[in-house]
Chain A
Amino acid sequence: GESVGLHLPTLSVQEGDNSIINCAYSNSASDYFIWYKQESGKGPQFIIDIRSNMDKRQGQRVTVLLNKTVKHLSLQIAATQPGDSAVYFCADRAAGYSTLTFGKGTMLLVSP
């Protein structure tokens, strides 16, 4: 079966809590950042993105924060639901490049 979750950092929360998933990137030339959600047996699904000229962007129940000084990205999920249980990946793209660099992912487990 699907084993993409092995050896991943795991965040366990209760339904209704707010979740914060963190990501560090290494390339100071990165100018575009994306969060993806991957459910078991599925491909990564786009959640939210942010450009380097912003430090915060909000979507529906999700907020992405970017701290370029320390090269850190976070995804905040408000009122976490069991359907939010998945592996979450951050990705960044260096300016002028066509490719993304993906983090190794964090598994979010939401208990009812």
Chain B
Amino acid sequence: NAGVTQTPKFRVLKTGQSMTLLCAQDMNHEYMYWYRQDPGMGLRLIHYSVGEGTTAKGEVPDGYNVSRLKKQNFLLGLESAAPSQTSVYFCASRPDSLHQPQHFGDGTRLSIL
């Protein structure tokens, strides 16, 4: 049981490039989340999904897009990367039950030059 898997683990981009981060979970969870983590800022929610085919904005959605075409996958896209998007990105999922914790992947470390 792999849990939540994020790919890639590391990536360096140039300003203006685009890329997609993939999150896959094998726990049949309904809810999925994308966060970014910056020094001293804690975890900030970018976008989330409450089920296949749904997406919603979080606290810091600007510059990012997401898609949830399959229940097990949640994609985070950067259309035109900016240095301010240099961060560590975490994906999480949880079941559709009250009072259940989110389970996290090990992150994607993204640097924008």
Q: Report A's interface with B, CB cutoff 8 A.
A: 2-8, 32, 34, 36, 41-46, 49, 51, 89, 98-100, 102-105
Contact = CB atoms under 8 A, between A and B. Distances in A.
Interface string B80-97: 000000001010100000
B43 A98 contact: no
B2 to A, nearest CB: 13
Given A42-B106, A43-B104, A44-B90, 10 more contacts: A5-B39, A32-B99, A42-B107, A43-B4, A43-B105, A44-B92, A45-B104, A49-B99, A98-B48, A103-B42
B77 interface: no
A100 B56 CA distance: 14
Interface residue range, chain B: 20 to 34
B74 interface: no
A44 B45 contact: no
A99 B58 contact: yes
Q: Which 7 A-B pairs give the minimum distances between C-beta atoms?
A: A43-B104, A7-B40, A6-B39, A104-B42, A102-B43, A46-B101, A43-B106
Interface of B: 4, 31, 33, 37, 39-45, 48, 50, 56, 58, 88, 90, 92, 98-99, 101-107
A98 B31 contact: yes
B37 A46 contact: no
B101 A8 contact: no
B99 A98 contact: no
A110 B99 CA distance: 31
B101 A34 contact: yes
Contacts of A46: 101-103
Nearest to A46: B101
